[in-house]
Amino acid sequence: MTRADQPDIDAIAHGQHDDPCRWLGFHKTEQGWVARTVQPGAEKVTLLVGTPPVPNCEATRLHPGGVFEAAITSAPPGLQYSWSVQWPGAAAQHIGDPWHVGPQLGELDLHLLREGTHNDLGSVLGAHAMQVEGSDGVRFALWAPNARNVSVVGDFNGWNRVTHPMRHRGESGIWELFIPGIVPGARYKFALRDRHGEVLPDKADPCALQAEFRPATASVVANPTPYHWRDAAWLAGRHDAQSTAAPISIYEIHAGSWRRVPEEGNRPLSFRELGEQLVPYVAELGFTHIQLMPISEYPFDGSWGYQPTGLFAVSSRFGTPADFCAFVDACHDANLGVLLDWVPGHFPTDSHGLGRFDGTALYEHDDPQRGFHPDWNTLIYNYGRTEVVNFLTANAHHWLDSYHLDGLRVDAVASMLYLDYSREAGQWQPNQHGGRENLEAVAFLQRVNTDVYRAHPGSMMVAEESTSWPGVTRAVHDGGLGFGYKWNMGWMNDTLRYMARDPIHRAHHHNELTFGLVYAFSENFVLPLSHDEVVHGKGSLLGKMPGDRWQQFANLRAYFGFMWTQPGKKLLFMGGEFAQQAEWNHDSSLDWHLLEHAEHSGIQHLIKDLNHLYRSEPALHRDDVGPAGFQWLDADDAMQSTLTYLRHDGADGWALVVCNFTPTPHHGRRIGVPRDGHWVERLNTDAGCYGGSNLGNAGSRVADPIAAQGQAYSLQLDIPPLATVVLTAPNP
């Protein structure tokens, strides 16, 4: 190449060159060695050589757009060079040459990316601060196979798309560039032209590890300093702590509204502040896990994180990646597992996001009947595209690897599984077999679950799946989706509907309490009382309860007692533990002042005791997923709205549960039990310490040799109004 290559010069000057690495940097021409750079707006550019750098020669301006070339009479192998750039009205700036070094991504990485099996995508694509050939800087890499050209724009180049065009890595569709001199904290985006040369909106990095604080939308170069974890003991014992035989009681939180700082503009707590305040609070209440609503970067607060634009980035609302590591470490130090809501089902249409990323439907399905959500006005991933499946699967690994998370709760699984989800006839096309199942989404879910459980033994994959899709928690090799747990949405809907009824009408809807046991062991279930039940006009849990104020609290206490003694792991959204009175508002703190009132603090006391009982009594958790751990004594007493049942630990442990969902107490009620001796009243939701009427059984009852309800022995119990009572068997 020579200076006469005017088309190349023009293309470089306008940011339109298809192969800038063939022209920029250090090259041997017919006239000798030259170095070329593009510095739009520069007054003068001088070539510096050696270490330390010394001026060699002034570069010649080849184009008014800032293309410069410096000729060197001789160039020894390994020549170190850089540039001194004089800007108008400013001191000269020392700039490294990004074209001085060759490609940084190896052939193995490119092969795995093409194959769709690169599970460490977050460390390959995106922006990574590193040292290359003695120069500190940042390596940028991006997948954009249909772009004509791509450049990096940011603080470091005045957001000029001409200065740093990227190197195209052929059929892989990868673009990369190492830029010397950039440091962590720098803001950046990618500037793309589509295959026709049209300028696209600047895009945030799909694999960015950090992003700007909203409403700004740039990506941020993350600090590469590794976090020093101290949770080895937790990780070593995690398998047992998350097995189906373990007590799992989950506290779901929205990090932005658990507690705010009113004296500082009502800001939310940071990750480190959550580690200091949330973690000991949840541990004291006896929960085993914290589940975070999505914290991947998202632009709109009102989406609660369920419309993310940066799946690999920890939201800047709460701190840095290192801050989030410290939060997880604090949880593990307190023997709390950490689950994260994960959103692979859809993404928003924001112009800086993934939509039409390189001018084509790259991440989303091109057919709007499969690529657009009418409910949420969002785009749907193309689960049939190898690179997209790799992107999502690698993202799951990223959260579990980089942040030591203990599992993912996968959002909106039903919307992924069905081609006709929220679509009328004529708005969807059947699969190749004529069915409504999205076979590509099924294959993706099976793959991500298989990969996660193989790579992260003891972790949890939890499905929010609201239909009766068979085998959600069945192993993939048996035809299932391969999740570890599934939210039991049917149980939640039925029982909340029942509890909202006036007790005088409950006799006619008794099956709403009992129907869940018909299918309770068809999946590994979590019983959820989640954020979805306290928003959009649904009111709070307390507000759903009928009757006067005393009855509302009594109903809620009885319901919690029922929930904690049913088969299935437990999940409670923040605020429910002290009977938050108002509907949840993501823009404000929970109403912590309510704890000044005895009835609210009584609910909190009850949740603590329920968690303690649930964790300490194997009969209440050991056989949650099999019918041997549950036995009805009387499921049919609809007229008095009572339930009696036994829980069994598979050995010698028994727990008796009696629920009364009317405001009428029952005295001297005979209940069958499988063993004689003193049965200890372990919990009574009507106890005075919880705000109840204090009707109980004096701490224990002795079983009589009188058969009842199919058992050889029985207890004569006083059953309080609107209450759940739990007694445990004597030691054999």
> Which candidate in 252, 358, 411, 599 is catalytic?
411
CA geometry: angle 465, 209, 106, nearest 5 deg: 105
Burial of residue 531 (number of CB atoms within 10 Å: 0-12, 13-18, 19+) = buried
Please write down the long-range contacts of 439-443, taking CB distance under 8 Å and 24 or more positions apart: 440/382, 440/383, 440/384, 441/383, 441/416, 441/417, 442/417, 442/481, 443/383
Which residues, including other chains, have CB under 8 Å from residue 192's CB and lie 6 or more apart? Answer: 144, 147, 149, 150, 199, 200, 203, 357, 358, 359
| Beta-strand pair 32-38/67-72 | antiparallel
Please name the residue that has the structure tokens 């309510």.
Answer: 594
CB atoms within 10 A of CB 181: 17
The Cα 9–Cα 12 span in angstroms is 5
Contact call for residues 485 and 521 (beta carbons, < 8 A): no
> Which candidate in 69, 109, 176, 464 is catalytic?
464
Q: From 44, 115, 53, select the one nearest 82 (Cα to Cα).
A: 53
Dihedral class, residue 477 (left if φ above 0, else alpha if ψ from -120 to 50, else beta): alpha
The Cα 569–Cα 251 span in angstroms is 11
The Cα 687–Cα 608 span in angstroms is 14
Can you read off the two tokens belonging to residue 519?
């299918």
Contact call for residues 6 and 23 (beta carbons, < 8 A): no
For residue 585, which amino acid is it?
N
CA distances 174 to 24, 124, 382, Å, are 19, 11, 19
Residues comprising the chain, all counted: 732
How many helices, marked H, and strands, marked E, lie in the chain?
Answer: 15, 37
CA geometry: angle 335, 338, 341, nearest 5 deg: 165
- Quick one: CA torsion of 578, 581, 584, 585, rounded to 10 degrees? -120
Can you read off the two tokens belonging to residue 234?
């937790």
The Cα 218–Cα 159 span in angstroms is 11
Distance from the first to the final alpha carbon of the chain: 92
Count the alpha carbons within 13 Å of 364 in the hemisphere toward its beta carbon. Answer: 25
CA geometry: angle 261, 603, 246, nearest 5 deg: 95
Q: How does DSSP classify residue 126?
A: E
Contact call for residues 297 and 307 (beta carbons, < 8 A): no
The radius of gyration of the chain from alpha carbons, rounded to an integer in Å, stands at: 31
Contact call for residues 617 and 629 (beta carbons, < 8 A): no
- 151 sits in which H/E element: strand 149-154
Which residues, including other chains, have CB under 8 Å from residue 669's CB and lie 6 or more apart? Answer: 658, 716, 717, 718, 719
252 belongs to the catalytic site: no
Q: How does DSSP classify residue 270?
A: P
649 belongs to the catalytic site: no
The Cα 106–Cα 109 span in angstroms is 5
Which residues, including other chains, have CB under 8 Å from residue 55's CB and lie 6 or more apart? Answer: 46, 47, 48, 84
The Cα 601–Cα 689 span in angstroms is 9
* Residues tagged active-site: 411, 464
